[in-house]
Structure formats: structure tokens, C-alpha cells
Amino acid sequence: MADTNNRSVRLLFHPKHLHTGSNPRTHWLIGSSFFPPLTIASILYSSSLHLHIESEQLRSLIPKGFEVIGALTSGNDVVDDAARAAIEAARGLRKIMYGENDREVVGAVTGEGFGEVKFFVSESGNVNGFESVTEVIEEENSEKFVWENGCLLRCELPIKFPLYYPVRNTNDVEKAYVQATEAVIAKLRDPQTVYILESVNKSSLDLPPPVVVQGGELDFHVDLSKIRPLAEIDNGFDASSLLCSYFSVNSKAGSPVFSIENADIIQVSVLSNSLVPSSASAAPVAEYLPVQEETRLLFIDVKLDVLCYASKVLPLRHAISSLIIPGLVDQLNILQNSMLPNLLAQHPQLKPYHFSPPGVLHPITVFYELSFGETEMKQVEVRRSLHSRLGLPFDRPLLRIANALNFSKLRNSGNVSLQKGPSLPRDVHIGIPSSGVTGGTVSLVQGSYEYFHYLQDGYNDSGWGCAYRSLQTIISWFRLQNYSSIEVPSHREIQQSLVEIGDKDPSFIGSREWIGAIELSFVLDKLLGVTCKVMNVRSGSELPEKCRELALHFENQGTPIMIGGGVLAYTLLGVDYNEASGDCAFLILDPHYTGTDDLKKIVNGGWCGWKKAVDNKGRNFFLHDKFYNLLLPQRPNMV
């Protein structure tokens, strides 16, 4: 029977993610040495019953600075047995991954037989000794918790391995590759190696100068769990004692935004110094060593790309020795294990990419085989497996290469439009006043979009082009979510598509004819392969009756909706609905705006805002005598 203590577990995600249903496997709880003890940042679902296979996969997936701190398992009537199994699994995995078994670990048990998840903590390597945790704290602002006092370090390192091997004994090439990898690892720890650290925040004019850390200043035996005492010992007197906070960039006026995209990022470059100072003078010497048999030369090109998380109070030299170098070593070993079986054949073209999927607080790193196209089944299965491990939906391309973190754009001010020419307003609904619905539940479009409206790009479509503009906004949403890379089509290109599928006569191209929901669905299907659901409403007075269904659309699909009545079309971005009273409001993005792309003018003029079917003055936004069609685009089922 487990004892009970007064310690608490802190969750940085919603507890519902801990309920694994009927999945009998053990799952992994992820924390960080930089967080208070028993703080769980995420859960990664297991994909293998073998700890060694799990360790290899997690080693590449989890960035340095985060680590496995516990395990979750499904229980039965004997909770203590399940807790013991979870703790034993966590200790076994930590032993393989980190070579130690004396840190406290968390064991969590879930099951149908007992309501909420139960947590236990084991203070030592004794699996049988664990205590029940009585308090579970759900962090209200997890992003702030992680990124207010944390930062990212990134190191890119391309390497070309020249491998000589005898033609008659090709097995020697594998030995040569292993030796070359070991030589690189030794060089990373060499006192003569130099590490240059600098900020990647190109948008700030007040950047601190780069910092140079010599390999001889590194300490490879530092304990990251004692981070605060380390920061107090290092007083910042010289460059090697500077903290990661040295590169922190002060936020602009207003409330800071805490996220991976807005985190301080430190770029680390590696320089190898092969010249050793010597007091003795010597002339250059060239050695000629002829081979004894026919030999060939093979070049292996690899690109390491390591992303690490660190506390801002971590000294820079410890960030290199405890995070950057171990991360580089892990990637070298991962690439070696992948390439050795087919070194002389078509060896894998592996490249690491970093992602920040929704619901996962920390970045993840994925190796993709570039010799396969993204739509080939092998790549799809890899992504599907990753979606399963991370608990991600299977209808969103969250881990496609197009969705990888783009560090050249991070921390830069402003958004870049998808359109050529002047940038377009994006996500104009953010920050608008509330709807006025008392006790309502707000359901909104998920992701970013661009606002298209009358007269943009110098094209006069006033009076007839509102549905075209709504369609352009919808297509921009699919582009920004990386479902497609096509350009947002012009009015003429939209008309051309309808002619090509036989819906319109050739004379339609270049005309000023209106289009409606059906035509929009045809274009989305042709250009994007997107299917749509069409909802018919006999009059504007019936629209509030559809609020529940519209709320479900925004919660499950999250795409913008085109709503059309007569010759008018709007883009619907969300609903605010009180199920008990039936009161509701619609978040309307109006394409009939003809002014400049000034966000303040757009919002203050009511061109993006909440509309009630009948406002408090008895005015009808949706006309009672109009028949309305609503086009609800569906997310493609793709990973």
C-alpha cells in the first residue's frame, strides 16, 4: 500500500489527455530539469512495448532540456500494482536514455474502475517505495509558465564524411563511418573547439554582441537539476559565465506573447580550431601513404539541426556542454544507425525538422526521409504514427514539412501575406469586442486567414464580387494551414475553373456574374480537393436555429464558412451561443468593405464583428424574406 504525502503534481495541459481509454500500453510523462519537481509538460503515447525501441524514438523526438520524468498506465482494481508498474517502466526507460536511476519519478494510473487519474511519486531507485500524491494543480497559463523564463538554443552543423574503403572488402566502409562519427564526437568535446552564440532576433536593433565560448571552458559533469545554485555561483564576470538571459530581447509595448514562435532563440555555431599553438618552429610536412589495393572514396553528407530548451538563468557554457553537444551526439548516432545497413546502396537522405504542434508545449524534432515524397504511403505512415504518439488529430497536416518551424521568420514583427504585392490583413477578428450574448459559448475559426474584400489589388468588383472575396478568404485559410500551396486565385481564375468543369459557358470568363455556395463548392473541390457541406435556411429568422450545428463545425472542422443570401455573401468566422436561452450571435467578416487595409478602420467600421439575427434595437441583420445558403468546407482527411 502506498503512503500519502502532501506534495503536488503540476499539469501544464488538460487532464483529459491523461485518459487513454482502453490502450493498455505505458505512456510517458515529459517534464524538465528547469521546472519545479513533479511538473508534467506533456504526455507522449508509446508506440512500442520494447523500452530500447522507445528510447531511440524518444531520443530524437524530445528536445534536450525536456526529459521523461514518469509513466502513465491503465490500472485495474489493484491501483498500487499499476503504479508500481508505471514507476518501474519510467525508471527502466530513464536508465537507457540518461544512464541514471536515482531521480524521483512519477507514476500515474488511469482506469475505468476509479474516476480521476491517481499520481504517485518514487523518491529513490527502490520501485517498491512510492507515495500517493494528494493534490493535482492545473496550470492556468502554461505557455507563460514555459516561456517567460525559458528560451531556445539552435545549432545547425553540416558535415561531409569522406570514407575510403577497399573494393574487395566493402565491410570496411562501415568501420570507417563509425570511426569518422567517433572522431566528430571527440572534436565536439575538444578544448580547441570554439562555440559562437548569437541572437537570431533580426527585428531588434538593440542586439547584444555574440559570445565566444572555448571548448576548454566547458563542464561535462554539470547537474541541470541544480540550475539555480549554478546561476548563483556564476557571477557573469566573463563571457563563459554569461547566462542565457544575456540574449533576452525586451518585449515591445503591450502585453508580451508567450509561445515557441515568440521565444528568445540563441543560434549556436561550431568552429573547429586545428591549429595548436607551439613554441617550436617547424616546416610543413606532407606524407604520402600509397594504398595496397584498389580503393574507392564515398562521401556521406549529413546535416545536424539541434533544438534545445533552457532556463534563462542557465550559464551559456553549461547550455553547450549539457544540451547542445549531447543533442548533436544523439543526432550523429541516429543517422549512423539509419545509414549503416545501406551505406553503399541508396542510403537514407535523412533531415531533421522541428515542429510546434498545437497542444504540445515543447517543440519536437522529426527526421524525414527526403527520398520519399510527402504524399507517398511510407511518409504518410510515419506521420500517422507521430500523430498517434502525440495525440494529434488525423485530419490536419500538422507535421508536414511546410508546417515545420521557420526560424528565419520567428521573432520578426508583422505577418507576411501569402499574396504577391502588398500584404493583406490577417486574423482581423482577434481583439474585437465581445458579442453581448450572456452566458454564451464562443466557437471560432481555428487557424489564420487573410481578409479579402472589394477593390483589393486595384480590381473593381464592387456590387458583384463578394462571394469571390469570401472564397479567396477561405482558400487563404487552407493555404495558411498548409493544406495546399496554390496561389489564392483571382476572379478570372475562379471563373476559369467553373468553365473547365463544365458548370459555366466560356462567356462567363471575364464577366461580372455572381456566384453562390454551389459554385464555391465546385471551385474548392477542383483546386484543393476539399469537400463541402451545404446548409440551406429558408429565412434569416431561422439562422439562430442552426447555431448549435455551426458551433460544432467550428469546434470540429474550424474552417471559415461562406454565408450567402440573394446577391449578398459574407464570411462567418464563429458563433457565440447560449444553449439554455437560445441567444446567439454570428461573427461576420464582411467582404463589402471598400476602404484601405487599415485594421483599425475595419474593426471600428463594423466590417468584422459580432452580429445578432435581431439586435437590441429590433434591426435584422439577416433578412427574414431571404433564402440563405451556408457553405461549410470540410478539412481533408490527411496527415
Do 194 and 78 belong to one domain?
Answer: no
Q: Are residues 393 and 513 in the same domain?
A: no
* Same domain, yes or no: 157 and 119: no
* Whether residue 427 lies in the annotated active site: no
Q: Is the pTM of this model over 0.95?
A: no
Residue-wise pLDDT for 356-404, tens only, equals 998 899 999 999 988 887 778 888 899 999 999 998 888 888 898 888 9
- E strand intervals along 207-363: 211-214, 265-271, 295-311, 350-355
In this structure, the answer to whether residues 496 and 564 fall within a common structural domain is: yes
Q: Is 547 a catalytic site residue?
A: no
For residue 415, pLDDT over 60 is answered with no
Q: CB neighbours (10 Å) of residue 149?
A: 16
- 173 and 27 assigned to the same domain: no
Considering 147, 181, 200, which residue would you say is the last residue of a domain? 147
Asked if the model's pLDDT at residue 76 lies above 70, the reply is: no
Q: Are residues 613 and 536 in the same domain?
A: yes
Asked whether residue 417 is domain-assigned, the answer is no
Pick the catalytic residue: 347, 525, 592, 597? 592
Do residues 55 and 114 share a domain? yes
* Shared domain check, 500 and 397: no
Does residue 398 belong to any structural domain of this protein? yes
Assigned domain for 13 exists:
yes
We report the CATH number of the domain holding residue 533 as 3.90.70.130
Mean pLDDT of 536-564: 91
Average pLDDT of every residue of the chain = 86
Is position 246 within any domain?
A: no
Residue 524 has pLDDT above 60, yes or no: yes
Instruction: State whether 103 and 178 are in the same domain.
Output: no
In-domain check, residue 424: no
Per the residue annotation, which of 151, 155, 244, 466 is the catalytic one?
Answer: 466
- Would 316 be classed as within a structural domain? yes
* Single residue among 408, 432, 461 that ends a domain in this structure: 408
Which listed residue (461, 576, 583, 590) is catalytic? 590
C-alpha cell at 298: 564515398
pLDDT over 90 for what percent of the chain?
55
The pLDDT > 70 percentage for the chain reads 87
Are 138 and 155 contained in the same domain?
Answer: no
State the DSSP code for 420.
S
Place of cell 551505406: 343
Helices (H), 374-429: 377-390
Which three three-digit cell numbers place residue 108?
A: 500515474
Query: DSSP 3-state assignment of 33?
Result: coil
CATH classification at residue 37:
3.40.140
Which uninterrupted H or E stretch holds 498? helix 491-500
Q: What is the pLDDT of residues 88-137, one digit of tens each?
A: 999 999 999 998 777 899 999 987 665 678 999 998 766 668 898 989 99
Quick: pLDDT tens for 455-512.
Answer: 998 899 999 999 999 999 999 999 988 888 789 999 999 999 999 999 999 999 999 9
Among 365, 389, 408, the domain-final residue is 408
Decide if 93 is inside a domain.
Answer: yes
Instruction: Tell me how many domains the chain contains.
Output: 3
Range of the domain at 528: 441-633
592 is catalytic: yes
